[in-house]
Chains A and B, each alone.
Chain A
Amino acid sequence: MRRNFHICIGLLVLLMSGVIYPASVQAATPSSFDSVLIVYDSLGIGSRQEGNVEALKRLLAAFQVQVTTESIDSYKPGMLANYSKLIEVHNRSDLAEEDSEYLTDLQSYQGDFLYIGGMPRDKLVRSLGLQIQEVEKIADLTIGPFVEKSIRLRTVFDSEQPGVRKYGALQLQNVSYPYGIQQGALAYVPFMEKDTLSEIALSYILKDWLRQAQDSHNYLVFKEIYPFSDLSLLERMSDELYDAGIPFIVSVHPVFSNTDYPAMKRYINSLKYVQSRHGTVLVEAPFVATIRDDGRDLYRQMEHFIDVLAAEGVVPLGMGADMFWTYDDYFSAEGMAFFDSVVLFPDTRQIYKAKRNRSEAFSSSVYSVDPLFIQRYLLDRHLFESLPMDTAFTLDFVHDDSELDHLMQGLKDSWIRFEDYKKGDHRVKTANNELTSERGLLVLNGVSLGTQASHVETSSDYEYKQQEKKSFETWFTVQNKIFIIIILITLFVFSGFLIIGYRMYKRKFYK
C-alpha cells in the first residue's frame, strides 16, 4: 500500500514537472523525426533530371523528416539497416547497372520503399503489379487542379492490382496512365524533374507514403527586406494586406552591427508596425560572403539580432533560409539552433562551411514556392486547392507603389486562402529570451504581447563618433597660441636677418 502510494506520488511529480517545465525546444533533435535515406545513381548534371534530388530533399523537408543523401557509389554496407524509409532515384539510363554493396543490402531491405525512375526494381514490379511499357510519346500530366501540357515520356505504367492507389494521370491521346502509384510501404513514380509539375505531383504521393495526415496551410511570404528597403512602402503594404484580410510573413535580413543607430530603430519600428497588421516576422539567414570567419561567431551574431528585436517587442517566429543551411553542420548548429520553425527556400548560391549529407529537421518546415510557378500549371484560378504540405507563396518585396498596387490586385483576385503563421506553434529561444506563438498570440518570455503599433518617426540625432577624452585641453590651447606667437616672431626676425645679410653680402662683393 505504502509502496503504491510512493509510486503515485512519483508519477504525480513527473506529470507536474512536465506541465511546469515543458521540454525545451531547440532545433529539433534528430531522434524526434522520421529519417529517410535517398540513394541516387547520378545527379543528372546537364540532363533534364538535374536538380531533381535537390527538389526531392526540399519536398521531404516540408514533411518534417530528416533526410540523408547518398550516391550508390559512396554507399557503405549496412547503411540501409539504419533506415526504415528509402527513396531510390534512378537518373541514369545510359549504363547497365553493376553489382554494388547497395544492391546487396537492398535484397534484404524490408522497410518503406519509393522508387523514382524508368526501371523499377523487380520487387516493386511484383508487389505493385506494375505493367511497364516503353514509349516515346508526348503526354499531358494532370494532378488535382494542375495540368502540364506536352511532357515527353519514355515509359508509362499501369497496374490492375487491387488496393493500389494511383496518383495523377498521363494523358496520351485517348489512353490514360497513372503518374504515380502507392500501396502501403511501396510507391513508384517513373520520373521527377525540378520546376515542373512532376515536383508538385510527387508531393501527393510522398504525403501518403510518409503516412502524414495533418492539414496543410498556405502562407504569404515576402523576402528581400533590408533595413534600407523602402520602409514606408513596407508599412503601406502592411496596411493594404491588413485591410484585405490577408495575413503575411516578412523574412527580414538580420543586422549584426550598428544596432543602436537610428536607422536600426526605424527598421524595428517598421517591423513592429508589420506585426500590428497581422504580419509575422521571420529572421532571414544572413548572406554568407565567405566561409573564412576569422573568429566571427555566427551564433552570437544571430542571438544578438534576435535579442535586439525582442527588446523592442518584435517577435520573430522562425527563420527563412536556403535549404543548404540545413545540410551544413556549422550553419545548422550556429545559425539555426534558436528556431524550431523554418521556411526553406530553393538554394540560390550554395556555400558550405561544414557540408554533410544529413539534413536538420524542424517541427515546422514550410515549402517555399513561387506563385508564378503554381499559376503556370493551375487549370483555373478558382479551382485552387492547397498542396499536400505547408506552402509559402514567396515573393520579393515590391520596389514601388505601382508594383504594390499590381500585387494587391493579384492577391485580391487570388483564390488562395492564406493562414496566419502565428496560429501555429513556433518557438525561438536565446539565452535571454523565449519568443513563442500560441493560438494567434505572440508571447515574449511568457507574457502575451499586444501588437498595437502606429507609425513612429525616429529622430536622426545620434552621436556616431565618440568624443575622445581630452585632458588639459585649456592648457594645450594656451600653449599652442604661445608657440604660434613665438614661431611667428622667430620667422619675422629670421627674415630680417636674411635681408640684412643679403644686403651686406651685396655691398661687399658687388661694389
Chain B
Amino acid sequence: MAKAPWFKKLGDWMKILSRYVSPSLLATSLVLLITVFVLFVPPYVGMADNGDYFRILYSNGLYFNTPDYDSLYFGYFNKEFGIFQYFNENASMYTSSQALLIRVSIWINQLFNQQVFDIRVQAVLLTLMYTGAVYLFVEALTWRMKPKYGYIVAVLAVFLFADTAYTAFFNSFFGESIVWIMLTYLFASGLLLFRKRYSDYGMMVIFFISGLLLTTSKQQNAPVGIIIAVMGIILIFVRKQRSFRLMMASSLALLMIAGIATYVLIPKEFVNVNKYHAMTRGILMQSEDPEKTLESFGINRQYAILRGTIHYEPYTTVDVNSQILEDSFYNHYGFVSILSYYLAHPDQAGKIMNLAAKSAFTIRPPAMGNYEKSVGKPFGAQTKFFSVYSQLKRALAPKTFGFIIIWMLVIIGLYAPHFVAAIKAKHVRSMTRLPLMLMMMFMGLSGIFVSIIGAGDADLAKHEFLFTAAFDLVTFAAVADAICRNLWQNKPEADHEP
C-alpha cells in the first residue's frame, strides 16, 4: 500500500530535522523552555509551605522573614527567605542531600545578596540538573531509533517532563524535586549502560551519584539504597575488566551503607511522629478489634482511644513526644513488628494498600497552592498550565492496588522475553534492562510500603511521590520502547564485552 503524500513529507521533514536536532535535544529544549517560562516568568509558579519547611530551613541557616508568613501556609508560594546573620543554633538538625543543595544555593545566592535568599536560585540549579537528566533519559530511549519514532517519543517526553506538577517542586523546599531529578538520572544512566551509549565508567559515576543523592534525599528513601544495591548487582558484570567490576561493586556497597545510614540517622522527633501515625492511622485504623491488636503488641488496650487520631491535631490528649507514649507505646513496636503484623494479617494489609493506591497516582499534593499571594489568586489556587499529563493520570488511573500489581505484571511481561533471550545468548549487558525496570518498580513499591508502615495513611499523597515518579518513568520507558519497536525486536547477540 502506497504511503500518503503527507506522511512521506513528514518523513522527509524529520530526516532534515534529525541532521540538526536529535529527539533528545528537541525534548530537552522544549522542557527547558516550558520550565523556565513556568518558574522564572511572572506569575512565578512554586509550592506553598505545608509546615514542613521549618525544619529544613532553620537547620540550613534560613528563616521566615515574611511578617505574615502564617497566613501563607498551604495557600501561597513564598519565594524569599532571610539568611541568618548570626550563629545558627539549629544547624545540623537534619541531614540530607537536599540540605546540600540548599547550602550550595545559599552560597550562590550570597554572591548577589547576603541577607535575602531567593528560592529561584535553587530552582535555577535544579532546572540545570533536570535538563541533563531529561536529555540522558530521552537519549537512552531514542538513540539509534528511527527518527520518526524518536520524535514521537520526544514530544511525549515533553508532556511528562515539563508537567508543572513536577517542575513546581523546584520552587519549593520539598525534597520531591531532588527525588524526581535523581530518579530520572538513575534510570537514565542504567538504561544508557544497557544501550552502551556513552562511556560505561561515566554512566557508572552518574548511576552512583544519583543513587546516593536519591537515597539520602529523604528519610523514607532509606530502602532505596538497599534496592539499588541488590538489583544493580548485574551491572557489575556488564564489563569484564576487574577495575570496572571493582568500582561498580564498591559503588553498590556504598549505596547499601548510605541506605542503612539514612535510616539510622533519622532524628527521633520524626520517628515519633511517624510511629504515632503508623499505629493510630495504620494498624489501629484497619483492625476490627484494636484492643486485641494492641495487646498483641504488648501495649495497654486503653491506647485504642487514639485510633484514627493524628499528631497534627491542634488540641490533643497527649503530646506525641511525651514520656508516657515513649515508655508504654512507642517502645513496644517498630518497623519490623509492624511489617510482621501486616504479613500476618494480609486482609488488613490489603485494605490499607488499596487506601494507599487511592493517593498513589497524584503527583501534586492537592492541598498546596502554587501562586504568590501578590498575584491575587484565591487561597490554595493551583496552576493548570501544562499539567495535562498529571491531571489525566489523576483522573483516569484505576486507584486500586490490584491495578498496581497488573501494571507490574504487564511491565515484567513486556521485558521478560528480551531478558530470557539475553540469558540464552549469554549477553550480560542485555540482561540489565529487566532488573532496572524491577529496581524502579521496587523503589516505587517501597515508597508505598514505607508510607504505610512508617506513617499509616497520614499524608499519603505526599509520601507516595516516589511511587508516582517511578510509575511515570517506567511506564514512559515501556511506551517509548513499544513505539520504537525496542521491546522484542532487537535480539541480543553473544557477549563480546571488553
Spell out A's residues near B (CB within 8 Å): 224, 226-231, 253-258, 261-264, 266-267, 286-294, 296, 298, 301, 460, 464-465
Contacts and interface: CB of A to CB of B under 8 A. Distances in A.
A267 B304 CA distance: 12
Contacts, number: 97
Contacts of A464: 287-290, 307
10 contacts: A224-B324, A231-B302, A253-B317, A263-B301, A267-B305, A292-B51, A293-B315, A294-B314, A460-B292, A464-B289
Interface in B52-109: 70, 73
Contacts of A257: 308-309
Nearest to A397: B324
Contacts of A262: 291, 304
Contact of B314 (A254, A258, A291): A291
B328 interface: yes
Interface string B301-323: 11111111101111111111010
B115 interface: no
B318 A287 contact: yes
Given A231-B302, A258-B306, A293-B314, 8 more contacts: A256-B313, A258-B308, A262-B291, A267-B302, A290-B51, A296-B314, A460-B289, A464-B307
A66 B311 CA distance: 35
B440 to A, nearest CB: 30
A228 B315 contact: no
B300 interface: yes
A296 B313 contact: yes
A393 B316 CA distance: 25
A153 B317 CA distance: 45
Given A224-B324, A460-B292, A464-B289, A255 B317 contact: yes
A254 B317 contact: yes
A296 B316 CA distance: 11
Given A253-B318, A289-B312, A301-B315, A227 B305 contact: yes
A289 B317 contact: no
Contact of A289 (B70, B307, B316): B316
A511 B329 CA distance: 72
A298 B315 contact: yes
B289 A228 contact: no
A228 B51 contact: no
Given A296-B314, A460-B289, A289 B302 contact: no
Interface string B165-184: 00000000000000000000
A458 to B, nearest CB: 10
Contact of A226 (B307, B313, B317): B317
Contacts of A267: 302, 305
Contacts of A288: 314-315
Interface in B278-296: 287-292
Given A226-B318, A253-B318, A464-B290, A289 B311 contact: yes
B316 A263 contact: no
A293 B316 CA distance: 11
B271 to A, nearest CB: 17
B304 A261 contact: yes
Nearest to A255: B317
Given A257-B308, A464-B288, A292 B315 contact: no
A153 to B, nearest CB: 35
Given A286-B315, A289-B312, A263 B320 contact: no
Closest 5 CB pairs of A and B: A228-B302, A286-B315, A263-B305, A293-B314, A263-B302
Interface size of B as a range = 20 to 34
A253 B288 CA distance: 26
Given A224-B324, A460-B289, A464-B287, A264 B305 contact: yes
B305 A289 contact: no
Contact of A228 (B70, B288, B305, B316): B305
Instruction: Provide the main secondary structure of the chain B interface.
Output: loop
Q: Which of A262, A263, A286, A460 has the most CB of B within 10 A?
A: A263
B303 A289 contact: no
Nearest to A463: B288
Given A258-B307, A263-B304, A289 B292 contact: no
A290 B312 contact: yes
Given A460-B301, A465-B288, A226 B315 contact: no
A228 B300 contact: yes
Q: Which of A267, A460, A464 has the most CB of B within 10 A?
A: A464
A226 B291 contact: no
A257 B310 CA distance: 11
Nearest to A305: B317
A152 B288 CA distance: 65
Contacts of A255: 305, 317
A287 B315 contact: yes
A224 B302 CA distance: 15
Contacts of B311: 289
A226 B308 contact: no
B316 A287 contact: yes
Contact of A286 (B51, B288, B303, B317): B317
Contacts of A230: 300
Interface in B308-348: 308-309, 311-320, 322, 324, 328-329
Interface string B431-445: 000000000000000
A488 B290 CA distance: 39
A436 to B, nearest CB: 26
A257 B317 CA distance: 9
A292 B324 contact: no
Contacts of B292: 460
Q: Which of B292, B306, B317, B319 has the most CB of A within 10 A?
A: B317
Nearest to A264: B305
Contacts of B288: 464-465
Contacts of B307: 258, 261, 464
B131 to A, nearest CB: 37
Contact of B303 (A228, A256, A460, A465): A228
Contacts of B316: 256, 286-287, 289
Contacts of A298: 314-315
A465 B293 CA distance: 14
A261 B291 CA distance: 10
Given A228-B302, A261-B305, A464-B288, A256 B315 contact: yes
A160 B305 CA distance: 65
Contact of B324 (A226, A231, A266): A226
Contacts of B313: 256, 289, 296
Contacts of B318: 226, 253, 287
Nearest to A335: B315
A387 B144 CA distance: 91
A261 B292 CA distance: 14
A288 B316 CA distance: 7
A263 B317 CA distance: 14
